[in-house]
Amino acid sequence: MSRFAPISSSTLTPSPDYPLGHSDQVDYEFRSTAGLTEHTVRQISTFKNEPPWMLNIRLSALAEFNHMPTPKWGGDLSRIDFAKIHYYLKPSQQSVGDWDKVDSRIKKTFDKIGVPQAEREMLAGVKAQFDSEVIYSSLKSFLAKKGVIFLGMDEGLRQYPDLVRQYFGKLVPSADNKLAALNTAVWSGGSFVYIPPNTQVDLPLQAYFRINSPAAGQFERTLIIAEEGSRVHYVEGCSAPAYSDGSLHAAVVEIFVKKGATVQYTTVQNWYKNVYNLVTKRARVEEEGHMRWVDGNLGSRLTMKYPSCFLTGRKATGETLSLALAGSHQHQDTGAKMYHLAPETSSQILAKSVSFAGGRTSYRGMVQINPAAAGCRSKVVCDALILDPRSRSDTYPTNKVLNSTSTVEHEAIVSRVGEDQLFYLMSRGLTEHQSETLIVNGFLSPIIKQIPLEYAVEMNRLVDLEMEGSVG
């Protein structure tokens, strides 16, 4: 779209050198054969030494998965071949709590994506997920003293089976949708977080996820329980290296926000461009509780993700800040859902999206205020920035207000980067690429400000990398 440089004859090709596209050689102790059968599911459960009830949950989810049709209402899922996916990989490295004991090749991978630096600085604890197994975990002692549990989901199930059983699948039942059923059948990894009553965790809990094998599905399962009056901020970062085969990421996140508790869940995500990222994220918010999703969607071929809040207690609040960036051959179908089930609950959705180089963003959202939920308020702002005529943005909002004392405000703005705006920046010495990047970062800044600093810096860098090569 370069309007300022002399026209060159070279055609636009995607950067062959994807900056995070390194694939390191790692030994896997076990790699399930491709495809999903009852045998695979039983094998996963056996490997993990799970209690029989979890195996049963997995098996019934498998049956549901097999029955349910692939959703047709969102992005194009027709190219996913569920039979070609490896559903479980176990690296030959057990979960360890000490960084020094981590395999040097695995460390090298983490070095490239910057985990150790983040760790040294201000982490409260790191769960770094390497494919399907948590191989590195550390938990600062002060958190443990407070009774905070921050474990890999597999370890959480081993150590706290009763707690897990009480909450697992209660918010996202396996029959909720086909991908949730799939996740429930084959889940592996993810985080288990428990915050005791009236406990404040001041530093963010951080996890770093990564897919590192061709056609490796990653099906992590995260469960966060924030007891009454507690407070926690959980951050997940995602990055996947380059592969030619399609990869599938189908995660499920369930969050229980008890009375007066506050939870923020921040995602900074950069999947490689062949990944299908289909995630179900849901929170239940009780009386005067507050839930905030900050959801950054970069990379992937297709992302379908609509973090939701079920506001079940009086004066509960839910908030989603969502950011999506779609370039060439990418579709970000994202948004949020807010269900007001109790009186005087309020919600806010701010969805900002950028499409460029033929990319497509869609906002898909739902606000429902039930008849008994009197005096509720909701505000939805969808803000789309389109960089060139080849790119596209759509909005699919659904608002249902089922009583007369509640209000929903909806605002949708589509803006284009104008020639005059670019010219203004370039007259100050910025190249066309620098100008576009600065405009995009400025546009996204209200959301990036809500992300912890080290991730915000990475986010800006990722936006910059994503947009490289978009100027032809």
Applying CB under 8 A, the residues found at the interface with another protein are 3-6, 418-421, 423-432, 434-435, 438-439, 441-446
Nearer to another protein, 5 or 372 (CB): 5
Nearer to another protein, 394 or 432 (CB): 432
Give the shortest CB-449-to-another protein separation in angstroms: 9
Cβ neighbours of residue 72 closer than 8 Å, sequence gap 6 or more: none
CA distance 352 to 355: 10
Nearer to another protein, 3 or 67 (CB): 3
Buried b (16+ CB within 10 A) or exposed e, 80-92: bebeebbbbbbbe
Give the shortest CB-350-to-another protein separation in angstroms: 13
Do residues 302 and 329 touch, judged by C-beta distance below 8 A? no
Do residues 111 and 18 touch, judged by C-beta distance below 8 A? no
Q: Which tokens sit at 40? A: 């695979």
Q: Which tokens sit at 77? A: 């899922």
Give the shortest CB-453-to-another protein separation in angstroms: 15
Give the shortest CB-467-to-another protein separation in angstroms: 14
Nearer to another protein, 302 or 325 (CB): 325
**Phi, psi values for residue 110, rounded to 5°:** -65, -35
Give the shortest CB-432-to-another protein separation in angstroms: 7
Nearer to another protein, 371 or 442 (CB): 442
Nearer to another protein, 5 or 122 (CB): 5
CA distance 132 to 153: 11
CA distance 414 to 351: 12
Give the shortest CB-429-to-another protein separation in angstroms: 4
DSSP letter for each residue of 59-98: HHHHHHHHHSPPP-SSS--TT--GGG-B--EEES---BS-
Nearer to another protein, 92 or 445 (CB): 445
Closest to 170 (Cα-Cα) out of 229, 250, 256: 256
Give the shortest CB-91-to-another protein separation in angstroms: 41
